Structures are given as C-alpha cells and as structure tokens.
Amino acid sequence: MARLDGKTALVTGASRGVGALVAKALAAEGASLVLHARTPERCEAVRDAIRASGGKAAILAAELERPDQVEALGQALLAKGGVDILYNNAGVMAQWSETGAHQREEWLRNLQINLLAPVRLCELLVPAMRTRRWGRVVNVTTGMENQLELVPYSTAKAALDKYTRELAQAVIGDGVVVNLLDPGWLRTDLGGPEAPNAPESVLPGALVPVLYPDDGPFGTVVRAQEHRR
C-alpha cells in the first residue's frame, strides 16, 4: 500500500519544473492529483504521464494573478470535498532591475501570485482538512537573499514564510501539518540556465513535508538539496 493512498493533492504550477516533478512523485505514492496551471492544455502531458503510470489526475485551470480565478479554483475543489494535500508551488520571478526600483505593477503581480494566491487557497482549503483531522500544506519558499534587483519576489516569499509559520501553529493538534519547502536554485524557467542544480534534485526532499507524521514538525523549512540521494 502506497503511503498516500486515498489522499487527494492539489499542486499549483504543475505543468512543468518542480510542480510537474512533485505531482508525479505524489501520484507514485498513491495520491489522486489535481493539477493546476493557467490553462488546461499546459497540464495535459503531466496528466497523461500520471495516468499512464496507473495514477489518477485531473486538471483545474486558473490565472493566479486574478483573485476571482483563485477564488473559483478553491470553491471548485470545495464543491468536490476539498483536498488532503495543498502544495502551493506556483510562482513568478520579478523582472530584473539594476537600480532595485520596480514599478508598482511588478510589486502587485509578485504579491498576488507569490503571496496572496497561496494564502487564499490555504484559507479556503485548510478548514476542511481540520474537520477531517488530516491534511498537509506545503508552501514553496526561496533561499534568495541580498538581491535587491529581484526584491518584489523575495519580499513576497518572506511574507509567505511568516504566514506559513502562523498557520502552522494554529493547526497543531488538528492532524494538519504545515511547512515550507526550499527547492534550492534549480535550472527551471524560474531559476534560469545558470542555476547549479538540476530540477530532478528537488526529489526526494520535496516529499518530506508531505510525509511528516501528524505530530509535525510544524512551520519549518525543508531544504530539498539537503535530502539528495
């Protein structure tokens, strides 16, 4: 029996990179996947790969830059009973600014996608986990620091870290375990071609916070590169 048999997992940004790898790994552990991307077509290859391996996967599309679509995504999942695992992986990188000065629109875009969207999904989906007395939330963070040129991204992630720690403490004793995942600097569309680590190096570390027992830990940062085989 796989470790996540009978569990349903939402992975945001599941069409490629870390999200696709995590989705396939969760499916291999027995979870039924809900794959998120901006359009359904982006996730079809991942869905087909999971199904070809004997797993279960469906697709729900939403543009996380639009609060109404984030709300619709959460409500659609609640209408089906919610999820057991929420993996907030989707994110965008800030535009590079040599001066460290970014347009207001860039700040708002980063704050909405990298902070407010995952927070709202937590607000919508965690209460049902608490009612069922089982759930796992993983919010993807960053180890980036001292990069004023990209500061809207790192600031949004820092705020997500704070929110995650607060949420983690609130659910202790409810069977819900909330943590952060730092994937490391990877050669993905987000990390760029100069990154030192292959995308595949995110595993098996990316599954560690999902597989924690009900007594935690809570609100910690799991660094995927420390779990490389």
> Which residues are catalytic, by number?
153
CB 122: neighbour CB atoms within 10 A? 22
Which segments of 53-134 are extended strands (E)?
A: 56-61, 85-88
Give the bridge partners for 11, in sequence order.
35, 87
Tell me the CA distances in angstroms from 69 to 14, 22, 47, 83, 104, one per residue in order. 17, 23, 21, 18, 22
Which segments of the chain are extended strands (E)?
A: 8-11, 32-37, 56-61, 85-88, 135-140, 176-182, 221-223
Q: Are 220 and 138 in contact (CB under 8 A)?
A: no
**What's the rounded Cα separation, in Å, for the pair 166 and 174?**
15
The one-letter amino acid code at 123 reads E
CB 3: neighbour CB atoms within 10 A? 13
